Structure 1
């Protein structure tokens, strides 16, 4: 485990999946979900797909490959390229194992920096090959919900920086349904309730904001901001209930439930040309009461 320290707190990063396991504010208060029977992850990286594809199978140039939900990056050991007191850079490259599921060359880099403001995360997808690669990438951090012991989950809010009137999408077996749904965000405020997730995730595929605040009544919480590469934002918790709230900035999303065809034609996929790099970044800042 790599521990990063900065004025805003500490972060622990595991080389398995390059996944953050802890984010504590300057008082030592834990903000990330600490895994459990309901969901055994903390903040996985989603690559080379976000969400699922029908039958957990992709098609590339007419050939089919098995690729399960959110891809494989979260389950593989990454190389630690650099580690300092306040930063870590980890890398995952293609191998025979990955090419059996995703037949492309790639270099995926995750860089974490803990400073006086918070934890900055940057992903870079480099195409070192000689043909274009179709990819999506996202982050799936789960925050504690409630943020403080003894506080009702229904007393928490997510406040987006901008009004979010656009309709949302819902999922069926983690695939996107065709019908848009009215957003539960009122103005820019999402009042949290476990019932919001009875129909699974809230998929905002027309998100206007570049930031939000997730808050308990005391003011404790997190401020999250993301760059312009992000085009889908997902809010999720277990439909069956769990003390976690996932706030997920993504490039691309799950496939439509009726999608069939080449991976390069899946809605939301980005095409990274030979020698090109796709970059996505976001920041999480602890907020003290």
Structure 2
């Protein structure tokens, strides 16, 4: 049975479910910034993505170790993770490969998810260890969704929100098809020489998911233009950023990614996909991003 663990420091509090090691709540001074899930729109809140981001073509790929059979965003979000370390302001979860996981992803691994709060921001760290006897390909990402309007944003609507970047730039995104695959041969320009993107449900109805590359400073702010409330994400370790909302839903997901879904110009060889990295036998790597509500 899953359990929820709460960590806190100062005015910031985060709660994480052992099922999927998923962030379930992020409160500042008692105000909830994280989307709380709703079957009408999207039941999840902030799933972790491993060992893929997005979709494989027909949920299938070939690898040096055998066939890979993974649904959208991989398998880690579907399993119970055990707590291996806990303090007042930090908790670390662990998921290890099993015969069941290896039937879908034929590699032995250990995934540790660490959440830490310092009073002003929450840090989310992924640590992946290759515990097998061959080189392991993988990628990963986060998927936190945030309430829009933000708490204490009286009178604001979804259309009062924008993404704000650290400097003007030109954002070009690959198209996403109905199967969730990326088409880098059909890019579209979201904005040119600007530091903001106004959000609307029509924007997401048209493009489904926005995929940013080379975000300036790897920092983005989701900002309510009337209330001044929102969240800032810093994601130095993540070269891609996905932004998504469900039709008519009162949330925006801001997703630091190290890879993307299978692309139209790719084969079904797992190791050859964009953003895929290889971990040597016994090797361990860590990546992290932070969320600062305000």
Shared fold (TM-score greater than 0.5)? Answer: yes
Give the drift of 1:100. 0.4
Give the drift of 1:195. 1.1
Q: 1:84 aligns with which of 68, 73, 87?
A: 87
Structure 1: distance between partners of 2:262 and 2:269: 12
Segments of structure 1 that go 5 or more residues without pairing to the other structure are: none
Q: Determine which structure has the larger strand proportion and give its number.
A: 2
Helix, strand or coil for the counterpart of 2:114? strand
Distance 1:200 1:186, change over 3 A: farther
Partner residue of 2:197? 190
Structure 1 segment 168-187 matched on structure 2, within 5 A: 168-172=173-177, 173-177=179-183, 178-184=185-191, 187=194
Structure 1: distance between partners of 2:291 and 2:47: 15
Number of residue-to-residue matches in the alignment: 284
Give the drift of 1:151. 1.2
- Answer yes or no: is the 8 Å Cα contact 1:54–1:259 preserved in 2: no
Per the normalisation by structure 2, the TM-score is 0.92
Structure 1: distance between partners of 2:278 and 2:154: 45
- Answer yes or no: is the 8 Å Cα contact 1:8–1:118 preserved in 2: no
Distance 1:163 1:127, change over 3 A: farther
Structure 2: distance between partners of 1:197 and 1:251: 22
Partner residue of 1:237? 245
Per the normalisation by structure 1, the TM-score is 0.94
Give the drift of 1:160. 1.4
Structure 1: distance between partners of 2:192 and 2:115: 30
Partner residue of 1:254? 261
Q: 1:284 aligns with which of 276, 280, 291?
A: 291
Structure 1 segment 1-289 matched on structure 2, within 5 A: 1-26=4-29, 28-37=30-39, 38-61=41-64, 63-147=66-150, 148-172=153-177, 173-177=179-183, 178-184=185-191, 187-198=194-205, 199-216=207-224, 217-227=226-236, 229-238=237-246, 240-287=247-294
Give the drift of 1:232. 0.7
